[in-house]
Each structure stands twice: as C-alpha cells, then as structure tokens.
Amino acid sequence: MAILLGSIADDYTGASDLANTLSKNGLRTIQTVGIPDPGLAMPDVDAVVIAMKIRSVPAGEAVAAARTAENWLRGQGAAHILYKICSTFDSTDAGNIGPVTEALLAGQQAPVLVTPAFPETGRTVYFGHLFVNGQPLDESPLKDHPLNPMYDSDLVRVLGRQTRQAVGLVDLATIRAGADAVRQRMARLVGEGRTMAIADAIAEDDLEVLGEVAADHGLSTGASGLGLGLARALRRRHGTGDGRTGETNTGNRGIGAPVGGHAAIIAGSCSRMTLQQLAAAEKAMPVLRLDPEKLLAGTAEIERALAWAGERLAKGPVAIAASATPEEVASLQARHGRDASGHAIERATSTIAAELVARGVRRLVVAGGETSGAAVDRLAIPAFLIGPEIAPGVPVLRTVGGGHDMLLALKSGNFGGEDFFAQALDAMR
C-alpha cells in the first residue's frame, strides 16, 4: 500500500473530522486508532488518518507518539504528513502544537504552514487571529475548554510561546495573490529565520491556495480545512480531476449494509452546543443525566445508568450524559482537581459504552473528544471506514476489525446543530 497523504490526529473526533473531509474531497481514506497492527486487513486507500490521544497529554509524550506515527506513515509511502489539530487551536503554553510540529519538522523543508482555519465550521484566521463564527476566540464560548482554555486569539503569539522556533505570518493579501506569492513569502520567512508560519484563511479558495503550497513540502499543521486544500491539490497532481467535491472519485462514502441492534448516545462534552443538543434530544428519547460527583465516588452511578438503559434499549434509542455547564465543571474541578475529574468521567462513560455494546448496541453516537477517545479505546476498535456526512466534520463511521460490526459517530463537542443526535441516528438506519 502506497498512500498520498498521511495524517497524525491529536484526538479521535478530530481524526474522523479530517477523514470525512479527505473522503468528501476525493481521497479514499481510512481512520486507524493508533498505528495499525500488522495483521489488520487494510483496504486500498489514498490517505490514512491515525487517531491518537495526544491533544492534552504531556508534551514529551505527544512528541514521542507523533514521531512513531510519522515513521509508520513514511514507511507506507506518504510524502506529506498533516499534523491534524483542533480548529480552536486549544493547547497550553507548554504545548502540544508547537513541540509536535517542531519535532516533525526535523529533516523537512521549512517553514511549515500552520492554520486551524475551517470556514465551513465558522473557524477563520485573519492577520493571525483566530475567529469563531466572527468572534475572536478569546471572546467566544469556545474559550472555556475544560482542559485547555484559550484566552488569546493571536496564534502567532500562542504558537511562539510553545516552541523554540521563530513564528511568522502569511497574511490574507498574500494568499489572495496566489500560490506563487505564498511561496515567495515563505522564502522570505526562511531568510528571517522563521520555521513556522501561521496562515490566514477566511474562505474555501484560501484553503485551496494553502493546500497547493503545503503539498510542496513534507509537513503541515492544521485543522480539516487545510486537509481540504491538500486533498484537492494531491488529486490534481496525481491525475484524478481538479479535486472539487462532486466529481468522480469522491472517496469511500459507501460503507456497506445497514447494521441492526440497539442505538445509544453517550455525551461527555460540556460545550454549549452539546448541552443544547441534549435538551433537544429529551423531546424525542429518554435521556439520563449522570451526577459527576457520584461518578468520582464509585461505581454506583454507572450501575444505575446501565440498569436504566437496560429497561429502555429494546424500545428505542437512549442517551446517557455526563455533560455539565462550564460553571458546574469548574466547581467539580475545584473540589477534585482537573485531571481527576476528567479521568473519572472518561472512565465512567467508556465503561458505560462497553457495557451497552455488550447488551447489543451497534449504533453508537459519542459526543466529546476525550469521551470519544476513551470509548473507542475501551471498545478496542482498530480502524474505521468513512461513510456519509451527518454534519460538517462528523461522518458515519463503520468499524474495521475488532469484535463487533458497528456504526459510530464521534462528535467534537461544538459540532452539529441542535438536532444533531436525531440526524446521526437517522443516518445510521
């Protein structure tokens, strides 16, 4: 298997977001959970997205994992590696975006383009500042990530605090002047000693220019918007059309026959949108809200949830949520610590996911990046095929390998509209 594009995704929902984008834009794509086992039967694909849980771990651990993944992807023939990060760029001043990018840059041509822009989901970058639906990131609701809150929207400054490398900017006027203008700007940045460049983008055409330039190099760092540009550039270069959605070779959007069994939703995200989605779900299905305080006290709350679900699964979908408001999360973290609180909720939701699958759930929606990662790890799913898009950034996934044939949707907390859960279940029918 020789692939055109390899990606290292820093969490599982981000991985499926990128895999969805690559597939939509013509690359046959598989999402693996970590580096695939040699015995896993891999389909013939153009792109491999390796999902990892390195978004919020210590920087040294993230760097080691990313390097191992890069070596595997290069061994599969990938000439370009995209380090896939969240479109809100959330990370601490210690990492992990800067340290991982710096480590992967070793031996590659500088500077590396870096952008979290993805206009389709409301993330734009202008003069190096990240905006969410028109609001500066540090003034938007998304600033309050429970693990990595973001209080600075100036990405040149944010990235500069994370790395020993000098960081520059490729501004929108340069990008609008075309790919050659961007290449000239990057050459000037190299002359200034800058090895990373934040890139503006406010529209899809900007992403296409960035993808064309990024494909000249061996590495880029960005959200799924940069993946869109790369997919189209690589299709043009390898003779499979001009790369625009809707042409022939639109990726692996079909994922086989329907799957039977029960359906369930598990939510651990505390984003405003997930809370709104849960409120909408309560009008259509049973929803159990877990007590996070009790989840830290022992297994009784998990047992209550499983008993509750067991009485209802045969009648239709159910939702179990450990989600809470930012204020409730802050109070919980103040009493028990940020790490202890987060790990307890991840353990609880992943245990519930595994037990629901043991009880016949074969269509599962998981909301929240850390929640999704914990659930997929607990279920020991090695890989996914990419199916139809439910909402921007969220496809239907079909398991490859593992013990059960299942359909899943792994949703970043902020993605989807208020009726997302109903849409996801309909898409899995």
pLDDT single digits (tens) 12-30? 999 999 999 999 999 999 9
Q: Which band of pLDDT confidence, cut at 50, 70 and 90, is reported for residue 253?
A: low
Q: Which band of pLDDT confidence, cut at 50, 70 and 90, is reported for residue 240?
A: low
Q: Is the pLDDT of residue 246 over 60?
A: no
Q: How is residue 131 written in tokens? A: 């905006």
Q: Which band of pLDDT confidence, cut at 50, 70 and 90, is reported for residue 241?
A: very low
Tell me which of 3.20.20.80, 3.40.50.10840, 3.30.390.30, 3.30.160.100 is the CATH number of domain 5-237.
3.40.50.10840
The reply to whether 5-237 and 262-427 are identical in fold is no
Q: What is the mean pLDDT of the chain?
A: 92
What is the three-class DSSP state of 306?
helix
Query: Contact, 10 vs 62, CB < 8 A?
Result: yes
Burial of 362 (0-12, 13-18, 19+ CB in 10 A): buried
Distance CA 326, CA 256 (A): 40
pLDDT for residue 245: 41
pLDDT for residue 251: 61
Q: What is the residue extent of each domain of the chain? A: 5-237, 262-427
Q: When comparing pLDDT for 31 and 331, which is higher?
A: 31
pLDDT for residue 252: 61
Q: Is the pLDDT of residue 300 over 50?
A: yes
Range of weakest confidence among 54-68, 86-100, 113-127, 210-224: 86-100
| Residue that is written with structure tokens 């020789």 in the block | 2
pLDDT single digits (tens) 98-136? 999 999 999 888 899 999 999 999 999 999 999 999 999
Range of weakest confidence among 307-311, 327-331, 412-416: 327-331
Tell me which of 3.40.718.10, 3.90.76.10, 3.40.980.20, 3.40.50.300 is the CATH number of domain 262-427.
3.40.980.20
**Region of residue 193 (left: phi > 0; alpha: psi -120 to 50; beta: else):** left
Mean pLDDT of 63-75: 97
Top-ranked range on mean pLDDT: pick from 324-338, 350-364, 396-410: 350-364
Q: Which band of pLDDT confidence, cut at 50, 70 and 90, is reported for residue 70?
A: very high
Mean pLDDT of 53-70: 96
pLDDT for residue 152: 92
Query: Contact, 76 vs 6, CB < 8 A?
Result: yes
pLDDT for residue 414: 87
Mean pLDDT of 38-65: 93
Distance CA 205, CA 219 (A): 21
Query: Contact, 250 vs 26, CB < 8 A?
Result: yes
pLDDT single digits (tens) 215-231? 999 999 999 999 999 99
